[in-house]
């Protein structure tokens, strides 16, 4: 049992994150308790094969490294998104800075999630609950655009018309490089609640600017 899971973990790329469900799918005949015990053993020692990233999530380590770390930096950056689940996106000052509407830099990722925020202090992220399940069909960048409009009045350092023009200009220059499905984005925007009269019109304007060359 332990040997089987060790060989499975050895095949993972260094930095790959996985959870108990991933291992259970690979070994459907093994009990969850047995899987937990095996993973616990693999985390032990001075230079273990895997490390516990946070509750229920593990990562493949680089064994024998000259300067060993618990997990590669790329795995730690991916951890908030691993636990956030579908429908998540950047929010708060982080998304406003990412788009270019503010020079304020958030000291940690701010992530909006659908449903109850995950418990993962190891990720270093701050999670915010959203109830709109239409977000589940959106990609991370599309959710982040919703959040940018939602957070604009609190964090942006320029008026909306100027911000929209800057976004359009940056998008034409390829700064963002992300496709936006306008119909799905606006469907999700219409399902948001309690955000004031400007929210939906701003979402429409931002979606049109993001659509750029007529992509949907």
Residue 1 has a pLDDT of 67
End residue of a domain, out of 71, 92, 109: 71
Contacts for 38-43: CB closer than 8 Å, 24+ residues apart: 38/1, 38/2, 38/5, 38/6, 39/5, 41/2, 42/2, 42/5, 42/6, 42/9
The reported pTM is 0.86
Beta bridge partner(s), residue 19 = 57
Query: What is the residue-averaged pLDDT of the chain?
Result: 91
Strands 126-130 and 110-114: parallel
Residue 64 and residue 83 in one domain: no
Structurally, how many domains does the chain consist of? 2
Do both 129 and 167 map to the same domain? yes
Whether 57 and 90 share a structural domain: no
pLDDT of residue 16: 94
What residues of the chain score a pLDDT lower than 50?
213-216
Q: Please check whether residues 131 and 200 belong to one and the same domain.
A: yes
Domain that holds residue 125: 77-211
Residues 167 and 189 in one domain: yes
In a domain, residue 216? The reply is no
Instruction: Report pLDDT for 69.
Output: 84
The answer as to whether 65 is a domain residue is yes
Q: What is the pLDDT of residue 197?
A: 86
Same domain membership, residue 108 and residue 170: yes
């Amino acid at each position: 049992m332990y040997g089987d899971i060790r060989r499975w973990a050895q095949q993972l790329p260094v930095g790959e994150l996985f959870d108990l469900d991933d291992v259970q799918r690979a070994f459907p005949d093994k009990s969850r308790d047995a899987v937990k015990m095996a993973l616990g053993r693999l985390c032990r020692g001075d230079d273990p094969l895997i490390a516990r990233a946070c509750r229920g999530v593990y990562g493949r380590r680089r064994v024998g490294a000259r300067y060993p770390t618990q997990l590669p930096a790329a795995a730690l950056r991916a951890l908030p998104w691993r636990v956030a689940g579908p429908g998540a996106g950047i929010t708060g000052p982080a998304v406003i800075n990412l788009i270019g509407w503010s020079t304020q830099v958030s000291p940690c990722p701010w992530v909006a999630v659908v449903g109850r925020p995950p418990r993962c202090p190891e990720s270093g992220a701050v999670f915010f609950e959203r109830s709109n399940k239409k977000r589940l069909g959106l990609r991370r960048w599309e959710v982040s655009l919703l959040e940018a409009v939602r957070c604009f009045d609190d964090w942006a350092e320029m008026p909306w018309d100027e911000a929209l023009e800057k976004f359009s200009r940056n998008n034409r220059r390829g700064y963002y490089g992300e496709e936006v499905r306008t119909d799905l984005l606006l469907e999700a925007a219409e399902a948001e609640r309690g955000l004031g009269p400007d929210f939906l019109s701003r979402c429409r304007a931002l979606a049109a600017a993001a659509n750029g060359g007529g992509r949907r």
